[in-house]
């Protein structure tokens, strides 16, 4: 914003400091003047003669003028120095803000000293910079990972096309088949990314949904996958009302149940899906057997494109977006997502959403 030039705060503080000093001095001298006039007789006997009051007042006036001048100089000088010292932290804060607007988010003010208003402002600002920096880094990582994942199917398609072009004896049917599957994977990935960004923008309509129905639906859809892997899926829970997007919440449930099936013990795994109603929240919990995981490793799993253990004994080719989507959808519904490793192996994932207000609807 372009503003008309004005007085600096330092100058304003200096002027008001000097002004108040002059005012106080003036009042004091005025009081002396007043009492002199009132109580001193016209002529006073002093040793060696008579002193007229007018002379005394004249002397007083010139002394008062000198004192006021001194006060003015003192007020201006002292005020300038004091105001400068008071406002010094502000300069540091302004410099840091300017740096941040140029895109350098790593700089911190780190104002030393005890707590006061300026230090509070500086600390809040530092905290904001830190969060902003982490957020920007996360976005960059996300963009790099997304581009990398999208490039892979494109590169595979190109290789397939090159082979088909240079080798006329190649079985075109097989090439087409592989091109088709690679293409489908690319579309799925793009759609997943779109879903993620839509959930992040919270641009969806909210309605009443029953989490227990969603859990049953997800379990039913994924039953063939569970059977193929020899994993049993159990669902339990009464009506669990929540407010949100049925599509997104079904996606969330499906991702969790799919993870619980896929990242499980092959041939003998179990999955438990349950829903419950608390005093202020409703909870969807998905628990599964599996490999033992450390809490530290579990805490990183919700990051986009994060894949856990290298898949040696599974053929599941996920990109690592499932839990990132769950997290985004949970946050878009003002809920909390918790992942806890089970001591016997596998993990327990809970999604806690605010319970809907009572009333019809």
Site residues (vs Mg ion, CB under 5 A):
259, 318, 322
Question: Binder to ligand ATP among 185, 307, 331, 342 (CB under 6 A)?
Answer: 307
Q: Is residue 320 close enough to count as binding ligand ATP by CB under 6 A?
A: yes
Check binding of 306 to ligand ATP (CB under 6 A): yes
- Residue 229 binds which entry of ligand ATP, Mg ion, none, with Cβ cut-offs from 5 to 8 Å by kind? none
Selection from Mg ion, ligand ATP, none that 308 binds (CB < 5 to 8 A by kind) is ligand ATP
Maximum Cα–Cα distance across the chain? 138
Rg (CA), the chain: 38
Element (H, E) at 321: none
308 near ligand ATP, judged by CB under 6 A:
yes
Q: Cβ contacts of residue 335 below 8 Å, gap of 6+?
A: 281, 351, 352, 353, 354
Q: Which stretch binds ligand ATP (CB under 6 A): 19-27, 145-153, 163-171, 321-329?
A: 321-329
Residue found by looking up tokens 């896929």 in the block: 262
Binding partner of residue 10 among Mg ion, ligand ATP, none, CB under 5 to 8 Å per kind?
none
Note whether 84 and 26 are within 8 A (CB): no
Residue partners of 64: CB distance under 8 A and separation at least 6: 29, 32, 33
Residues 18-57 that bind ligand ATP (CB under 6 A): none
- Under DSSP, is residue 168 helix (H, G, I), strand (E, B) or coil? coil
- Rounded to whole angstroms, the Cα distance separating 209 from 250 reads 10
300 binds ligand ATP (CB under 6 A): no
Interface with ligand ATP, residue 263, by CB under 6 A: yes
- Minimal CA–CA distance to 178: which of 168, 166, 164, 192? 164
Closest CB to ligand ATP among 321 and 332?
A: 321
Kindly indicate which of the ranges 11-19, 28-36, 73-81, 304-312 contains the residues binding ligand ATP, using the contact rule CB under 6 A. 304-312
Q: Which of 71/249 has CB closer to Mg ion? A: 249
Neighbouring CB atoms inside 10 A of 8's CB total 11
| Site residue total, ligand ATP (CB under 6 A) | 19
Residues at the contact surface with ligand ATP, assessed by CB under 6 A: 259-260, 263, 288, 290, 301, 306-309, 318-324, 346-347
């Amino acid at each position: 914003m372009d503003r008309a030039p004005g007085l600096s705060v330092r100058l304003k503080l200096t002027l008001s400091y000097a002004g108040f000093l002059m005012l106080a001095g003036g009042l004091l001298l005025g009081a002396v003047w007043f009492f002199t006039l009132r109580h001193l007789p016209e002529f006073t006997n002093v040793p060696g003669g008579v002193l007229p009051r007018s002379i005394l007042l004249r002397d007083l006036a010139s002394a008062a003028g000198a004192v006021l001048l001194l006060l003015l100089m003192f007020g201006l000088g002292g005020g300038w120095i004091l105001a400068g010292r008071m406002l010094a932290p502000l300069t540091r804060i302004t410099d840091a803000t300017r740096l941040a607007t140029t895109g350098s988010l790593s700089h911190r003010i780190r104002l030393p000293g005890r707590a006061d208003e300026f230090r509070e402002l500086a600390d809040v600002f530092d905290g904001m910079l830190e969060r902003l920096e982490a957020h920007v880094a996360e976005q960059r990582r996300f963009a790099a990972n997304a581009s990398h994942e999208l490039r892979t199917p494109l590169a595979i398609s190109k290789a397939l096309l090159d082979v088909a072009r240079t080798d006329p004896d190649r079985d075109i049917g097989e090439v087409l088949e592989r091109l088709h599957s690679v293409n489908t994977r690319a579309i799925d990935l793009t759609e997943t990314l779109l879903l993620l960004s839509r959930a992040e923008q919270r641009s969806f309509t909210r309605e009443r949904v029953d989490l227990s129905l969603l859990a049953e639906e997800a379990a039913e859809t994924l039953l063939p996958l569970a059977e193929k892997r020899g994993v049993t899926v159990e669902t339990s829970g009464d009506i669990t009302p929540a407010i949100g997007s049925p599509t997104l919440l079904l996606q969330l449930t499906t991702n969790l149940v799919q993870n619980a099936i896929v990242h499980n013990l092959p041939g003998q795994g179990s999955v438990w899906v349950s829903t419950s109603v608390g005093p202020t929240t409703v909870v969807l919990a998905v628990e599964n057997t599996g490999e033992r995981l450390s809490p530290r490793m579990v805490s990183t799993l919700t990051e986009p494109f994060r894949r856990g253990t290298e898949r040696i004994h599974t053929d599941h080719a996920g990109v690592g977006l499932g839990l990132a989507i769950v997290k985004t959808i949970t946050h878009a519904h003002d809920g909390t997502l918790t992942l806890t490793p089970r001591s016997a192996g596998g993990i327990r994932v809970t999604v806690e959403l605010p319970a809907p207000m009572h009333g019809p609807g």
